[in-house]
Chains A and B, each alone.
Chain A
Amino acid sequence: MTSALGKDLLGLEPLTTEQIQLVLDTAEPFKEISERAIKKVPALRGQTIVNLFFEASTRTRISFEFAEKRLSADTVNVASSGSSVQKGETLVDTARNLEAMRIDMVVIRHGASGAARFLADRIESSVINAGDGTHEHPTQGLLDLLTLRDHFGVLTGRRVCIVGDVLHSRVARSNIWGLKKMGAEVAVCGPRSLLPWAIGEFGVTVFSRVEEAIEWAEALNILRLQLERMTAGYIPSLREYNRVFGVTRERLARAPRDVLILHPGPMNRGVEIDSDVADGPHSVILNQVTNGVAIRMAVLYLLAGGRPELAEAAKGGA
């Protein structure tokens, strides 16, 4: 069984424009299911899915779980606490054990870049990368694309700037690949110490001042600033970060147009984003969360071999 996406979803870099388009289009009919009184369709009945979370995550894990349950899959959650992982079991042994239990899909979140690929290379089941180290977070990238598309209609030529700690961000990488494949113009902005040294090779514009980014952009995707970046010496203080790179109402007020505000969460209010921006009229942060469930339903459905043209029909009759 080869799905339209292949066996796994490991990142947006390897996907074609058509495949990304397909996921976004497939997500459209699934949006509606979450608005129903009975939020369940039988598309994945009989499928077993393991949610393997080696890193703490609330939002992504819950979003996947809702997506799985609304498609009627049987799911098991494995968190790093209390599992064999904490007993020192290696990822390869974890993979072999999962395989031996004849599961259909694994959703993996892991602190090491390449962990999802590592698992995918070793098991027959489909693997969905729910964030691997500082590599990719493809479903986040897809839900960001869907949210932008909801607003702009098409992404071609739209100017999107990713603001913040691009160096350590898997969300940034998935967004860069996804946006570029969809024809958007992409920029990044942040302190140079938090941008990859080779960022110039990514085909993106680099802004060193957030004011320039705001003047240029039609949408800002504001990354979470991890508090440990300060202790590791990348930036002097969170306070100064907010003063120099924070997206504030005052800065946005000087923009030549309304700027759409995205944030993958969880937010540090008052650091990378001010509360009145996060809660403001151009924020689509909660739309991102809603779209996250639809995107993950689409990804699960497609990887399970579901035919995109039947996604509408798959909604019918619980």
Chain B
Amino acid sequence: MARRLLLKGGTLLDPSRRLDARGDLLIAEGTVAQLGGSIDAGDSTEILDCAGCYVSPGFIDVHCHLREPGREDVETIATGARAAAAGGFTAVCAMPNTEPVTDNQAAVGFIIRQALRAGAARVYPIGAISVGQRGEALAEFGEMVGAGAVAVSDDGRPVASAHLMRTALEYAQAFTIPVIDHCEEPTLAKGGAMNEGVVSARLGLPGIPTEAEEIMVIRDILLARRTGGHVHLAHMSTRGSVELIRWGKERGIRVTAEVTPHHLTLTEDACEGYDTHAKMNPPLRTAEDVAALGEALRDGTIDLVATDHAPHHYDAKEREFTDAPFGIIGLETALALVVTELVGPGIIDFATLVDRMSCRPASLFHLPGGTLAEGSVADVTVFDPARTWKVDPSAFLSKGRNTPYAGRTLTGRAIYTIVGGHVVYRLDR
């Protein structure tokens, strides 16, 4: 591989530096060596043609499930990291609800090693909040962070105990990591399969009310206020949650939040016909919620887009709705969904897209990247904002095929994904 890469002829887009201009970018020794204007290729420099594309700091997904260890039949760290790269992500954060749970330094170290071996997108482990994600005793945050964990979460399970959540928010401050909560009041959500509303009533499916999320959102915000800790709220789905987060941010409380591409683009109507590919937790809500989430992403109330990439075996989804598992894959469709459904209609612009998918995740999770500043790590995404393509699950690099977007024609696609100066993905053009 060439030691130097010249990204030629693209538009440099880096909202962290208020940069949006045609220009070249030179990468040397794994870092950004020079940017802007026309740069001449020197010796042993590979030139990547970026005409018609945006060259932006690499996308970072702070929420995905890579299933290894435990369910390597469904996804591995290697396949997940390659899928991430194909989606334009230079880094992803892996949730700890593996088998066994990532709740100690050895488990964290295992993920780091597997990711290095894969040589695709970077993979940052997220450690569990509680031992075994059982919601009782705190896991060893310090040792996990020492081994490479960048945050803690019991994702997949809500932190039911307010006391445990409080303690986690206090204890995590020694390590400057966010505590991520999956906001779900377990007794209200119990047995639920989709949003509680007219569609669930008609289909005869047990519903999950919006309050199941919102009660925990306000609890977490109040505990962040009490403790001064940083709480990051995963996969927000309701208009009410947006209002509560806005309330918290106005008061200077350290709350940040994410939204998934599917909660930004689909409603409960997708569950019609008992389509298990529309079964997620939190569930798809109403058009009103979707509109509020898009607006919150625009105005920054919701800080970032995260995929909640959740691969499942096709057998697991090919069954009765109430018995099917929650979740869909998202790494390879996230960019295109945001371009098609948010940038397309003018809800956000491309600079905001890059901010919410790269700059903010990097700064909130204290990760390298998120900028094209000279001397920074060369994690770069080159994407074509106008390229249309048809979603074909069989072509995914993820092992997962569970997506409700199969057959959809979307706009926007990663062309090159560059991690530490190495091209880890290039689209066949």
Q: Considering the chains assembled together, what is the distance between the CA atoms of A121 and B274 in angstroms? A: 11
Render B196-239 as a binary contact track against A, CB cut-off 8 A, 1 for contact.
11101111111101000000000000000000000000000000
Q: With CB as the reference atom, state the residue of chain A lying closest to B318.
A: A92
Which of chain A's residues have a CB closer than 8 A to the CB of B202?
13, 173
Restricting to B286-325, which residues have a CB under 8 Å from any CB of A?
A: 315, 318-323
A7 within 8 A of B: no
Report if A113-B205 is in contact (Cβ < 8 Å); known contacts: A90-B315, A91-B320, A92-B318: yes
Which of chain B's residues have a CB closer than 8 A to the CB of A197?
196-197, 201, 207, 209
B273 within 8 A of A: yes
Q: Considering the chains assembled together, what is the distance between the CA atoms of A13 and B209 in angstroms? A: 24
When the two chains form their complex, are residues B204 and A170 in contact, meaning their CB atoms are under 8 A apart? yes
Q: With CB as the reference atom, state the residue of chain A lying closest to B315.
A: A90
Q: Considering the chains assembled together, what is the distance between the CA atoms of A173 and B204 in angstroms? A: 8
Q: Considering the chains assembled together, what is the distance between the CA atoms of A131 and B186 in angstroms? A: 29
When the two chains form their complex, are residues A113 and B201 in contact, meaning their CB atoms are under 8 A apart? no
When the two chains form their complex, are residues A114 and B274 in contact, meaning their CB atoms are under 8 A apart? yes
Restricting to A147-204, which residues have a CB under 8 Å from any CB of B?
A: 170, 173, 196-199, 201-202
Render B310-354 as a binary contact track against A, CB cut-off 8 A, 1 for contact.
000001001111110000000000000000000000000000000
Contact of A113 among B198, B209, B315, B322 (CB under 8 A): B322
Q: Considering the chains assembled together, what is the distance between the CA atoms of A121 and B320 in angstroms? A: 12
When the two chains form their complex, are residues B320 and A198 in contact, meaning their CB atoms are under 8 A apart? no
Q: Considering the chains assembled together, what is the distance between the CA atoms of A163 and B323 in angstroms? A: 29
Which of chain B's residues have a CB closer than 8 A to the CB of A173?
202, 204
Shortest distance between the CB of B202 and any CB in chain A (Å):
7
Render A56-71 as a binary contact track against B, CB cut-off 8 A, 1 for contact.
0000000000000000
Contact of A198 among B200, B204, B274, B319 (CB under 8 A): B200
Interface size on A, residues (CB 8 A): 25
When the two chains form their complex, are residues A135 and B203 in contact, meaning their CB atoms are under 8 A apart? yes
Restricting to B237-292, which residues have a CB under 8 Å from any CB of A?
A: 273-274
Which of chain B's residues have a CB closer than 8 A to the CB of A115?
320
Which of chain B's residues have a CB closer than 8 A to the CB of A135?
203-205
Shortest distance between the CB of B320 and any CB in chain A (Å):
4
When the two chains form their complex, are residues B321 and A114 in contact, meaning their CB atoms are under 8 A apart? yes
A80 within 8 A of B: no
When the two chains form their complex, are residues A133 and B274 in contact, meaning their CB atoms are under 8 A apart? no
A117 within 8 A of B: yes
When the two chains form their complex, are residues B204 and A90 in contact, meaning their CB atoms are under 8 A apart? no
When the two chains form their complex, are residues A118 and B201 in contact, meaning their CB atoms are under 8 A apart? no
Q: Considering the chains assembled together, what is the distance between the CA atoms of A135 and B205 in angstroms? A: 7
Shortest distance between the CB of A114 and any CB in chain B (Å):
3
Restricting to B347-385, which residues have a CB under 8 Å from any CB of A?
A: none
Shortest distance between the CB of A133 and any CB in chain B (Å):
5
Shortest distance between the CB of B268 and any CB in chain A (Å):
11
Report if A132-B209 is in contact (Cβ < 8 Å); known contacts: A113-B322, A197-B197: no
A244 within 8 A of B: no
Which of chain A's residues have a CB closer than 8 A to the CB of B273?
117, 121
Q: With CB as the reference atom, state the residue of chain B lying closest to A132.
A: B204
Which of chain A's residues have a CB closer than 8 A to the CB of B209?
197
Shortest distance between the CB of A47 and any CB in chain B (Å):
27
Given contacts A92-B319, A114-B205, A121-B273, 8 further A-B contacts (CB under 8 A): A92-B318, A113-B321, A115-B320, A117-B273, A196-B200, A196-B201, A198-B201, A199-B201
24 contacts between A and B (CB under 8 A): A13-B202, A90-B315, A90-B319, A91-B320, A92-B318, A112-B320, A113-B204, A113-B205, A113-B321, A114-B204, A114-B320, A114-B321, A117-B273, A117-B274, A118-B274, A118-B320, A121-B273, A135-B205, A196-B201, A197-B197, A198-B197, A198-B198, A199-B201, A202-B201
7 A-B pairs closest in CB distance: A135-B204, A114-B274, A112-B320, A196-B201, A134-B204, A113-B204, A201-B198
Which residues in B have some Cβ–Cβ distance to A below 8 Å? 196-198, 200-207, 209, 273-274, 315, 318-323
